[in-house]
Amino acid sequence: MFVFGRHLLWITTRYVLYMSTDTKKISLPELVGESFSRRFGTTLFSLVVLWAIFRGWSLRDEHYLTAASGVGYWLGIVGGSMMLLLLLYPVRKHVFAFRNFGKVRYWFFTHMTFGILGPLLILFHSNFSLGSLNSNVALVCMILVACSGLVGRYFYTKIHYGLYGRKASLDELRDLLLVNRGGLAWAINLDQDIAEHFKDVETLAKSRPDSLGASFSNWSQYLLLAARSKRTVKKRLMHMLVEVMDKREWSPAQYKSNLKKSYTHVDTFFVASRRVLEFNFFERLFALWHVIHLPFFIMLVLSGIVHVVAVHMY
């Protein structure tokens, strides 16, 4: 168990140092989400945490750890402290006196890291077993908060440029639709069918739904529309560029280069339109999530305090 702890600490330290480095300026491809390197780091960290949970669960009957004393006791202290420190992120965001204490994205990263490592240490503290009533209540509240946090993380990525980037702007995303449609103006002017496909997608993306249900309906319609339109537009572009190649006597390399550029404009147009619709939908979900997540966290804090007091008094 001590060897496992040392390896987990090393990997966590490397993950923190890597993920908290300054990010480069947001580029257009990052509309899709986090960069590959960051997704890889997140995936690696997640696999280590899952492996730790599996090992802890499989060795629970060996009783290497006990909640009452030794390493198991201190894991509970450290894990509980991490859960309390989760409050630092909302304090940093909303309390004016703390506005100059570091960048928000570093606090957010710490908030998420502690939100995973804290519950993990508590699970080892409890030896993956149920105990008294007050400890069971605290454990259930902790699991609810952790699961809620993972859901919130997903919603967060849908309305921000990457996990640690700035919040996306609806007008900014809509401008990207115009920019990438403009890059294909020649095709839109020459082919009415392509123009209609772009118009249908753009009309849907620029709609302003007034409810969560309407946002979800638009997003669902887009998924069906985009799959058909994107394939059709690319196919027609390919045939159009073949005709242009014959007229202008392009080389195969020039044809491939122009086709690649056109496909890039098409891909970015559809990504931007999807992000606009996701923004409408997930921004409302994120606001609703905040309303649910806060009571869960308050329940966790209260049950944790009761658990600590009961353990040390009795």
Mean pLDDT for the stretch of residues 217-230: 82
What percent of the residues of the chain are helix, what percent strand, and what percent coil, each to the nearest 5?
80, 0, 20
Comparing 11-20, 125-134, 290-299, the range with the smallest average pLDDT is 11-20
CA–CA distance, 303 with 131 (Å, rounded to integer): 14
Task: Please check whether residues 253 and 202 belong to one and the same domain.
Answer: yes
Both 275 and 301 in one domain: the answer is no
Name the residue range of residue 193's domain.
Answer: 170-285
Quick one: 280 and 303 in the same domain? no
Do 191 and 248 fall into the same domain?
Answer: yes
Mean pLDDT of the chain: 77
In a shared domain, residues 112 and 231: no
Task: Look at residue 168 in the predicted model and tell me its pLDDT.
Answer: 55
Same structural domain for residues 195 and 269? yes
Nearest Cα neighbor of 243 from 163, 167, 181, 187 is: 187
3 pLDDT exceeds 60?
no
Q: Judge whether residue 305 has pLDDT over 80.
A: yes
Residues 183 and 294 grouped into a single domain: no
Q: Are residues 53 and 178 in the same domain?
A: no
Q: Are residues 193 and 297 in the same domain?
A: no
Same domain, 152 and 241: no
Q: How confident is the model at residue 7 (pLDDT cuts 50, 70, 90)?
A: very low
Query: Is 167 in a helix, a strand, or coil?
Result: strand
133 and 18 inside one domain: yes
Total domains in the chain come to 2
- Reply yes or no on whether the pLDDT at 5 is more than 70: no
Examine the domain organization and report whether 161 and 62 are in the same domain: yes
Handedness of CA 210, 211, 217, 223 (dihedral sign): positive
